[in-house]
């Protein structure tokens, strides 16, 4: 089953649209900020920019939104901005699916702090409402006027793959005519502290990929896609993602995957289970590298540009991977975004670029 991508919106350290994203990667312009905590600790982080949200929503409507929700609102608004029938996005015919690994971790930690500070007598009700994972999806529904089914998916590093899979199922079952699906995560000082402790204590292999080693820079961002089943619509096509447990037969049909973007967070035994073509030259290039470190492999060894070096590592970065791949893939060619977890589970999203997106 396939569906059509009729809109894409991205937000990250590079800016707030696909053109800025591609230019940032091509020119290596995106630079991480120095995140500080407790005055003496510092860490480079790719922080997302949400300045462009004023173009879509007045300030009074954003009073109760935090950075997490603003990223979602901006990316989603950009995804439907150029949609030919933009007015039809509101109502019951549109569904919302938001994928997140960390959730609104900043507000969650602030709410916890308010509980401790008030001794359970007066924790902040505003921070409580912001601390739930589905707060971004709720803001999208309210401010965009979307009254269709609403779902938040949290499966850590396969959250986005699972969300897109569910979106395709909704369209196949004709529950809705279109689905606004996206991945979003933010970075907080508590994650910076965790990363520092994991690395200092040499426990990186047990940590989240964004926290486990010095070869990756953590980041944050959001990527949203407007999907429809109508084949008459213009846009890139996307197949229903495949999620499973990796075996030697998982990726046998190499010729159908096309240009491959693979992030492997599995341990060494899982890497050995992968077919050799999935990580060409890996034995040579990574013989001295911790197998748990972040790595990207391509079906062509001479194409080793890692776009995540310009917007950072986070659980739902696959949403930005897919957007970047479609924006840089020639018309008619296919691309596959593969993510493999430490537990040997994998997710594959296949898409075909059918027209220029920029």
Average pLDDT (84-107) is 85
What domains appear along the chain, each with residue ranges and CATH number?
2-235 (3.40.47.10), 239-352 (no CATH)
Query: What percent of the chain has a predicted confidence (pLDDT) above 90?
Result: 28
3-state secondary structure 237-272: EEECCEEEECCCCCCCCHHHCCEEEEEECCCHHHHH
pLDDT value for 22: 86
Whether the pLDDT of residue 86 is over 70: the answer is: no
Assess contact for 31 and 311: CB atoms under 8 A.
no
C-alpha 298/C-alpha 302 separation (Å) is: 8
Identify the top-confidence range among 166-175, 264-273, 281-290, 301-310.
Answer: 166-175
- According to the model, what pLDDT value does residue 295 have? 33
Distance CA 294, CA 29 (A): 21
Helices (H) and strands (E) in the chain, counts: 10, 13
Nearest to 228 by CA among 147, 167, 184, 183: 167
With 80 as the cut, is the pLDDT of residue 298 above it?
no
**How far, in Å, CA of 157 to CA of 209, rounded?**
9
Residue in the block written with tokens 């027209």:
355
Which DSSP helix (H) or strand (E) runs through 99? strand 94-99
Nearest to 316 by CA among 1, 25, 11, 43: 11
Interatomic CA distance for residues 343 and 230, integer angstroms: 36
Name 230's Cβ contacts closer than 8 Å, sequence gap at least 6.
4, 177
Q: Which two tokens stand for residue 16?
A: 């707030």
- What pLDDT band is residue 148 in, cutting at 50, 70 and 90? very high
Best CA proximity match to 291, nearest among 303, 275, 304, 279: 279
C-alpha–C-alpha distance, residues 184 and 310, integer Å: 16
Half-sphere exposure of 36 (CA within 13 A, CB side): 3
Q: What residues form DSSP beta bridges with 352?
A: 237, 334
342 alpha-carbon distance from chain centroid: 18
Please state, rounded to an integer, the average pLDDT across all residues of the chain: 77
3-state secondary structure of 41: strand
The answer to whether residues 115 and 51 touch, using CB atoms and an 8 Å cutoff, is no
Which pTM was predicted?
0.83
Tell me if residue 353 falls in helix, strand or coil: coil
Q: What is the pLDDT of residues 309-345, one digit of tens each?
A: 788 889 999 999 999 988 888 888 888 888 888 777 8
For residue 355, what are the contacts with CB-CB under 8 A and spacing of at least 6?
Answer: 234, 235, 236, 331
pLDDT at 41: 77
Supply the pLDDT for residue 88: 76
pLDDT of residue 198 exceeding 80: no
């Amino acid at each position: 089953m396939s569906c059509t991508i009729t809109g894409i919106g991205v937000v990250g350290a590079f800016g707030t649209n696909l053109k800025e994203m591609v230019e940032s990667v091509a020119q290596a312009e995106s630079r991480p900020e120095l995140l500080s905590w407790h005055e003496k600790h510092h860490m480079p982080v790719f922080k997302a920019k949400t300045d462009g949200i004023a173009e879509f929503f007045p300030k009074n409507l954003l009073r109760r939104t935090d950075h997490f929700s603003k990223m979602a609102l901006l990316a989603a608004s950009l995804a439907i901005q150029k949609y030919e029938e933009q007015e039809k996005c509101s109502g019951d015919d549109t569904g919302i699916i938001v994928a997140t690994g960390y959730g609104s971790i900043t507000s969650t930690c602030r709410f916890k702090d308010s509980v401790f500070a008030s001794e359970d007598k007066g924790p902040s009700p505003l921070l409580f409402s912001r601390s739930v994972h589905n707060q971004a999806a709720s803001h999208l529904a309210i401010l965009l006027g979307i009254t269709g089914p609403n779902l938040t998916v949290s499966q850590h590093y396969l959250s986005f793959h699972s969300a897109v899979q569910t979106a395709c199922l909704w369209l196949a079952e004709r529950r809705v005519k279109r689905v606004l699906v996206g991945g979003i995560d933010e970075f907080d000082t508590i994650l910076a502290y965790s990363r520092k402790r994991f690395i200092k204590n040499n426990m990186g292999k047990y940590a989240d990929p964004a926290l486990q080693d010095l070869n990756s820079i953590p980041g944050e961002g959001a990527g949203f896609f407007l999907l429809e089943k109508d084949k008459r619509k213009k846009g890139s096509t996307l197949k229903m993602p495949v999620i499973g447990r990796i075996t030697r037969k998982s990726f046998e049909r190499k010729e159908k995957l096309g240009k491959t973007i693979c992030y492997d967070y599995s341990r060494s035994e899982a890497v050995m289970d992968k077919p050799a073509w999935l990580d060409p030259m890996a034995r040579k290039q990574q013989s001295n590298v911790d197998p748990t470190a972040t790595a990207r492999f391509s079906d062509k060894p001479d194409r080793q540009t890692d776009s995540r070096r310009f917007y950072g590592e986070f659980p739902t970065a696959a949403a930005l991977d897919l957007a970047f791949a479609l924006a840089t893939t020639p018309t008619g060619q296919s691309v596959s975004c593969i993510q493999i977890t430490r537990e040997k589970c994998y997710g594959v999203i296949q898409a075909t670029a059918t027209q220029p997106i920029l």
